[in-house]
Structure 1
Amino acid sequence: MIAWGYLLVAICLEVVGTVSLKFSNGFSDWRFTVLSLTVYGLSFWSLSLCLRVIPISVAYAVWSGLGTAAVAIIGIMFFKEPMTALKGVFLLMIIGGVAGLKTISNNG
């Protein structure tokens, strides 16, 4: 179960890194640039720890899928990005796919 904890930490760090990229203004703000690079590095480190137990096909799909969904939701909520019915359907499909992968995984 700890492997899934590492994966959750990796996802959270990846989301922070991606949001920090927006604030880095094309790497022109050094504070957010350093924050982005640091948390991305920590995210990969945490992802590598979960790969000791969770198969890479499942771990990477969950990491990228939940990270993508989280960043999309943050974009809608905080950056006033448009929300359409299709966007909602596809976000639910990503989350459903991740839940399915977790359900069928025997590891962690």
Structure 2
Amino acid sequence: MPWFYLFIAGLLEIVWAYSMKQSEGFTRTIPTIITLIAMLGSFWLLALAMRTIPLGTAYVIWTGIGAVGAFILGIILLSEPVNAARILAALLIISGLILMKVSSA
């Protein structure tokens, strides 16, 4: 169950990163509320996962899911630039996440 908590916490990190962008510096009410709720949920689930998953492993995987997810969301929804270097960087992050998970088992 801790790995499930960690995965959902990472997904919520993507939600709060996107909604923070949409809040335009916390000047828009609904995106600001979504940001705060998603942050609280993400941190809470991360804390639950850290009961059994080592700190370094949990934190790296949590931030990695958020980083790659925000990268993909930025490309799809915000028309952010995509090029070979950025894709390679995301693939390296993903490979690091996989290695972190495998090495902590």
Q: With the length of structure 1 as denominator, give the TM-score of the two structures.
A: 0.94
Describe the SS at the equivalent of 1:81.
coil
Tell me the equivalent position of 1:42. Answer: 41
Q: For 1:79 and 1:6, locate their aligned partners in 2 and report how far apart those are by CA, in whole Å.
A: 28
Cα distance in 2 for partners of 1:19, 1:88 equals: 19
Count of residues paired in the alignment: 105
Matched, 1:13 2:24: no
Query: Are 1:65 and 2:64 an aligned pair?
Result: yes
- 5+ unaligned residues in a row in structure 2: which ranges? none
In the TM superposition, what are the counterparts of 1:1-108 in structure 2 within 5 Å? 2-106=1-105
Unaligned runs of 5+ in 1: none
Q: Deviations over 1:29-77 (max 9, x none)?
A: 1111111011101100000000011001000000001110110011011
The share of aligned pairs that are identical, in percent, is 37
- Partners of 1:31 and 1:77 lie apart in 2 by 22
Contact 2:6 2:58 in 1 (8 A): yes
Give the stretch that moved more between structures: 93-102 or 25-34: 25-34
Please tell me the root mean square deviation across aligned C-alpha atoms, in Å. 0.7
TM-score using structure 2 length: 0.97
Give the Cα–Cα distance (whole angstroms) in 2 for the partners of residues 36 and 66 of structure 1.
17
Q: Runs (4+) of structure 1 moved beyond 6 Å?
A: none
- CA offsets 1:67-99 (integer angstroms, 9 cap, x no match): 101100110111111101000111000000000
